[in-house]
Amino acid sequence: MAFDKTRFGGVVAPIVNPCGEDDSLDRGALEANLTRLLATDVAGLYINGGTGDAANLTQDERLETAALLVPRLLAAGKLAIVHVGQTNQRQAVELARQAAALGAHAVASIPPKKPWPQIVEYYKALAAAGAPVIVYYIPGVTGMTAGMPELRMLLDIPGVAGIKMSDWNIFLLRSVVLEYPEKVVYSGFDEMLVPGLLYGADGCIGTWANLLPDLYAKVYARVRAGGTDAVKPVMDEFTAFLAVGWNYGIIDTFEELMRARGYAGRCFRRPSAWEPGKVEPAVLADLLARLQRLEDMAAAL
């Protein structure tokens, strides 16, 4: 599928792959979350990413998930990006080939923990699979930091269409935007939603879009229209909400709220630090009230 940068803007929700107590894929919950997100104004979905617990899925589960989600997204006119990383190159290429055959708009991948010349070869192999490639820069997970010299090595590969940047270094994101205006740039940290957009990101791929898809979509639209002042109270409320969550581990808090809302029994497979009830009942009630308040504020935007 030919790359059209204008098609890639907006909020791309990294859909969860819920599981049961035996850690197997909960297909019913996956279908329900797909239906729920398709009914919102998110631009599309990011399939089998970290929020989708892809590293703990079997290869068959990842193939099955992509085969289920991509056609539904295309039928709904939504963006489909399939993450193929957190695995070895042979499996990543297999996943990338499947995504290309399904008609996915792009594939994405974190880099393997290898020297940069080998990372370049890895992304070349993904690009050869047929779909545009989104590099995923997330040093907090990979332990690999980069500057523009290293990122240029990847962004200059034919077939690499852009980058997702999950990093606090907002200047590095801005540098990519300025040097590669033809590439799509996604901001990955939820806390950096508005700063990323103000620094030129084309969109965002953030975990909390699973719980607040309408807020994300409206904030994106308002910022793009120059209405930054209008979203400031919402983002002040959102960052205060996230600050409470960080006290319990932000991913554990996310999982607790997904369960409380009935969206997933579990989001992340064992071994996991989270168990139901990790967040005290009073705090959970407060977080749910804050979540509702954020939804109300988004509705008023």
Q: Which of 164, 183, 186, 199 is catalytic?
A: 164
Residue 51 assigned to a binding site: yes
Q: How many residues does the chain have?
A: 301
Among 115, 75, 120, 125, which residue's Cα sits nearest to residue 95? Answer: 125
d(CA 19, CA 28): 10
Task: Give residue for tokens 């996943």.
Answer: 95
Structure tokens at 95: 């996943």
| Mutual angle of helices 170-179 and 148-155, in 10-degree steps | 40
Annotation marks residue 248 as catalytic? no
Residue 205 assigned to a binding site: yes
Hey, what amino acid is at 154? L
Annotation marks residue 220 as catalytic? no
Task: Give the largest Cα separation in the chain, rounded.
Answer: 52
Q: Which of 136, 180, 199, 220 is catalytic?
A: 136
Check: CB of residue 96 under 8 Å from CB of residue 129.
yes
Check: CB of residue 101 under 8 Å from CB of residue 128.
no
Task: Give residue for tokens 């589960």.
Answer: 61
Check: CB of residue 120 under 8 Å from CB of residue 148.
no
Q: What are the binding residues for pyruvate?
A: 51, 205
Task: Give catalytic residue positions.
Answer: 136, 164
